[in-house]
Structure 1
């Protein structure tokens, strides 16, 4: 090693894979304390940037993958595949069980060791409403808690605690000196010290902190495996079709299994029903867009008919069927507003990416475990730039879903994000009526005529005025007067808020 100091060499040698570029592989993540609560102690024998802790269980999908359990320690050796890192398992139990010790892992399943993100009670930038939903899941008991990033104060934090079936929220103050506190009476250098104190004594909280909130919402990896990050044409023999979930204009949707390990949804294309290039464009768009409220594309099979598009599986099917099957027995206004907010969140992301949907409706929203709702089939849109507005010019042979389509889109056969907002208003009608057909009893021609006379769907029975008001905003005659999806998302997420719910005296926060 030339003239390198022997003592320094002994310090660097354990982490050599993190610093040496071999066979064109990039180095592991840069050593940093940006996400840490306190710097790495001087006596630490290795740079923290190379070592990670698992946040969730993961079962290997291919022979090249690495299985691990939540809490396991891993050393990341290579980060070149986007979303999939090459890592070494550091747990002795893995070696004892004969388990593979090196392989690829989904990068969104791990966090840097000794960082804030690695703490079981830290949930990152989730919203207050999502914190309440997670704490109210069965399995959490009084005292269950989480810490999240503050929505209203950049760089701030909030504490959410479950108490007798109700979630309370506290603002964690950050003093100029960098210390954390609920009140200046008692301060803490790190959030870990904060948590440690309040798990021993309530000290002004509504209850002593108990166990961290369960992390039941396991994220989906962005791809089937590290091999499908770029090469996402896969062998159709690797996909088994297990159960048909439904059918539509372009084909069928099946529950399937990839590589005998991974549950997936398989969407097939009816031969001759659509230009294969259009289908592949849908796949290309879906592959490039990544958001928790959008269906994630995994792979395609295009070399023979029928063409397959492989996506993550949402076991409860379409929102339309989900609403119709429930018909109000378990789904009430709180859940309905939550559905709408989640869809608006996914659409706000599409809006930010200058994409449009063209066919937003309850039939194109899918339902997963733990009340998760995701927008599907958004790739059917084609994006063009005309007068600084993103539009889609409809082909004559494609049928319009008239009852969900904005008047200007019916008239001009051109779509924009504002016509998607109109469709969202009709989706709200479907949600609040448990999947009833809008403009029931009217033909498409009658609907077009009524809309030309400024007719709007009437307020459904049992629909709160506040909810109907949001629908009417979406149906403004002038597209520019319709709200953005970002504004709709905020309005729906704050739907139940009242000023008295978060008084300064009680230190509650939004």
Structure 2
């Protein structure tokens, strides 16, 4: 018998091989070996396996992927994944997100060379003869969501005079992030106020409830308020009524440790606290500010919220709670092992996130609604200015100099790019194409370019934590682009921006395809990103998601050298020759061995052996977790 690679107790859903078969959920012991995935009954009293209940031959697996949880799923069924093989989908429920991701990653790794791997999959369950995601009634029906199959290579090519078109890069339809575990008819609660920007939009009032009527656009949902008024709302401004944490003012979503410390120190209250997402996916951390013995400066402490095997939460031994709000309420009155009880909540939720466009369906912006305030710089395509839209919304405006861009191709692509929406991407709001020069209107980030921020913007010597958080921000933005089958092609610190909270966001993704300057596409020209390019790009112009991975490793090096120029003593031609022969950048002084190993994993000779961005993001998160 082959040795066990992974073992875990999972809940397994019956496979519903007949439409009339009732659904049931049973706990099984799953055992993964080199050849099979098997599941068994288990005798808890004797601590041993009982009868074999089923097996899946790994050579027959066609897809391994997450599944969106069912609406109102119980706690034990919040982390499902699916194994697709000849008999259909096998649905498995993990106890937490860490176990879920670990098994998905291992299974994907083991089946990545299988024949007939699926190109599409169903992100929701097959229930009672119907796919819940696309309403198809045939169990073997082709999936409705494009799958980036186990890090497979993107289709690439070359162009004269233009690079590969969106169609050549599998952009046959606007890329969409995974849809939420939500459905038409559900009730949502507004996290932020929203003032309608177009006649089609619906006003949101914080903490009020709304009913979702339509979800055709992942970024804009049609909704109805309590007065019966209907319109479109930004989906990232609301949460499902059942999402408990978002209802509490002390919960700060998408906040890292450095940002938490800055916010708590700014408030400067002994016992000030907040709850934030941990660097470990699915985990939470309580950050507390305290002034010991009346000191003026104060310090921050961070406590991971732990869970028992029964699913209870705790910060201190012998104080267990069924929910995080119950835990917080208790520690508001009792320190119980912490440096202070939780006296005052601190929140960053006054500032809403960016919307995908300035109103539903709006991508063409009237230039008369733009006010130019000051020049920010001069980029590849022309002058960039800070301004206002309709006199109140901060925006950045790229004024495209004529002859620098293939404008018609870009305008078509802009409609797709606007649908890309992530907290670590600079949001494209729209374009002005009715006049020349055309304008590209984007989100404005007050701390400017990451490269300049590294060299000049940090008011004090940065900590390793801050540098690692910058790397995490970029990795997560790029993982989203990767999941949307989108290449950047020019990833570097100069093409990232920093907001007022210190969050790093990736910008100018995909724009290099529309450059008309011949020098830019020449390996000997100063404008070609030679210092960020892998051998297959330097020698053969072979772009793929793995060339973006190489560039990410160089960007990490830029971060840990505080903005030094890569290969600063070599000319572009020398870089082409030396990198092709195996030369790599040295370890920066601020980077430890673990950080440098992530960089070097991006610079392997064979592109197929480089990691994917999702894996890089997880690796960086693991290092960040050591700081929690």
Q: TM-score surpassing 0.5?
A: yes
Deviation at 1:363, TM superposition (A): 0.8
Q: Using the alignment, how far apart are the partners of 1:465 and 1:115 within structure 2?
A: 39
TM-score, normalising length: structure 2: 0.60
1:302-313 → structure 2 map (5 Å cutoff): 302-313=433-444
Greater shift in the superposed pair: 367-376 or 476-485: 476-485
The one of 416, 423, 427 aligned to 2:551: 423
Deviation at 1:362, TM superposition (A): 0.8
Deviation at 1:343, TM superposition (A): 0.8
**Paired residue secondary structure (1:291):** coil
Could you say if the C-alpha distance between residues 151 and 341 of structure 1 is closer, same or farther in structure 2, counting changes exceeding 3 Å? Answer: closer
Unpaired segments ≥5 residues, structure 2: 1-70, 76-184, 291-297, 515-519
**Paired residue secondary structure (2:587):** coil
1:82-93 → structure 2 map (5 Å cutoff): 82-83=219-220
Unpaired segments ≥5 residues, structure 1: 1-31, 37-47, 91-100, 384-393, 502-509
Spell out, residue by residue over 1:101-140, the C-alpha distance to the aligned partner (whole angstroms, 9 max, x if none): 998654433445685121212345x577478557655226
**Paired residue secondary structure (1:288):** coil
- RMSD over aligned CA atoms reads 3.7
Q: Which residue of the partner structure matches residue 122 of structure 1?
A: 251
**Paired residue secondary structure (1:323):** helix
Q: Name the structure with the higher strand share.
A: 2
CA contact (8 A) 2:252 2:349 kept: no
Q: Which residue of the partner structure matches residue 471 of structure 1?
A: 599
Q: Using the alignment, how far apart are the partners of 1:477 and 1:489 within structure 2?
A: 21
Could you say if the C-alpha distance between residues 381 and 35 of structure 1 is closer, same or farther in structure 2, counting changes exceeding 3 Å? Answer: farther
Q: Which residue of the partner structure matches residue 197 of structure 1?
A: 330
Could you say if the C-alpha distance between residues 376 and 282 of structure 1 is closer, same or farther in structure 2, counting changes exceeding 3 Å? Answer: farther
Q: Which residue of the partner structure matches residue 215 of structure 1?
A: 348
The one of 444, 465, 468 aligned to 2:572: 444
Q: Which residue of the partner structure matches residue 407 of structure 2?
A: 276
Q: Which residue of the partner structure matches residue 166 of structure 1?
A: 300
Spell out, residue by residue over 1:46-74, the C-alpha distance to the aligned partner (whole angstroms, 9 max, x if none): xx96573x4345566568877777xx443
CA contact (8 A) 1:134 1:213 kept: no
Q: Using the alignment, how far apart are the partners of 2:553 and 2:443 within structure 1?
A: 27
CA contact (8 A) 1:246 1:253 kept: yes
Q: Using the alignment, how far apart are the partners of 2:501 and 2:475 within structure 1?
A: 18
Greater shift in the superposed pair: 473-482 or 59-68: 59-68
**Paired residue secondary structure (2:251):** coil
Could you say if the C-alpha distance between residues 454 and 34 of structure 1 is closer, same or farther in structure 2, counting changes exceeding 3 Å? Answer: closer
Deviation at 1:413, TM superposition (A): 0.8
1:310-349 → structure 2 map (5 Å cutoff): 310-326=441-457, 329-349=460-480
**Paired residue secondary structure (2:421):** coil
Spell out, residue by residue over 1:142-178, the C-alpha distance to the aligned partner (whole angstroms, 9 max, x if none): 4333445677686x765444445233223343674x7
CA contact (8 A) 2:188 2:238 kept: no
Q: Using the alignment, how far apart are the partners of 1:157 and 1:464 within structure 2?
A: 26
Spell out, residue by residue over 1:278-309, the C-alpha distance to the aligned partner (whole angstroms, 9 max, x if none): 32255234212111101111111112211111
Q: Which residue of the partner structure matches residue 85 of structure 2?
A: none
Deviation at 1:331, TM superposition (A): 2.9
CA contact (8 A) 1:135 1:145 kept: no
Greater shift in the superposed pair: 157-166 or 420-429: 157-166
**Paired residue secondary structure (1:378):** coil
**Paired residue secondary structure (1:495):** helix
Q: Using the alignment, how far apart are the partners of 2:220 and 2:239 within structure 1?
A: 13
TM-score, normalising length: structure 1: 0.72
1:215-294 → structure 2 map (5 Å cutoff): 215=348, 218-226=351-359, 229-294=360-425
Q: Using the alignment, how far apart are the partners of 1:371 and 1:78 within structure 2?
A: 34
Deviation at 1:327, TM superposition (A): 7.3
Spell out, residue by residue over 1:330-368, the C-alpha distance to the aligned partner (whole angstroms, 9 max, x if none): 434332222112111111112222221110111100111
Q: Using the alignment, how far apart are the partners of 1:380 and 1:120 within structure 2?
A: 39
CA contact (8 A) 2:275 2:284 kept: yes
Could you say if the C-alpha distance between residues 115 and 465 of structure 1 is closer, same or farther in structure 2, counting changes exceeding 3 Å? Answer: closer
Q: Which residue of the partner structure matches residue 55 of structure 1?
A: 191
1:14-33 → structure 2 map (5 Å cutoff): none
Q: Which residue of the partner structure matches residue 541 of structure 2?
A: 413
Q: Using the alignment, how far apart are the partners of 1:111 and 1:496 within structure 2?
A: 27
**Paired residue secondary structure (1:467):** helix
Structure 1 position 299 matched with structure 2 position 427: no
1:60-209 → structure 2 map (5 Å cutoff): 72-76=206-210, 79-80=213-214, 82-83=219-220, 106-111=234-239, 116=244, 117-123=246-252, 126=254, 129=257, 132=260, 136=264, 138-139=266-267, 141-147=269-275, 159-163=286-290, 164-173=298-307, 176=310, 180-181=313-314, 185-188=318-321, 190-209=323-342
The one of 375, 385, 403 aligned to 2:506: 375
CA contact (8 A) 1:199 1:210 kept: yes
The one of 585, 606, 614 aligned to 1:486: 614
Q: Which residue of the partner structure matches residue 95 of structure 1?
A: none
Q: Using the alignment, how far apart are the partners of 2:593 and 2:323 within structure 1?
A: 46
Structure 1 position 401 matched with structure 2 position 529: yes
Greater shift in the superposed pair: 479-488 or 167-176: 167-176
Q: Using the alignment, how far apart are the partners of 2:204 and 2:417 within structure 1?
A: 29
Q: Using the alignment, how far apart are the partners of 2:556 and 2:350 within structure 1?
A: 25
Deviation at 1:429, TM superposition (A): 2.3
Q: Using the alignment, how far apart are the partners of 2:242 and 2:430 within structure 1?
A: 35
**Paired residue secondary structure (2:543):** strand
Structure 1 position 459 matched with structure 2 position 587: yes
**Paired residue secondary structure (1:278):** helix
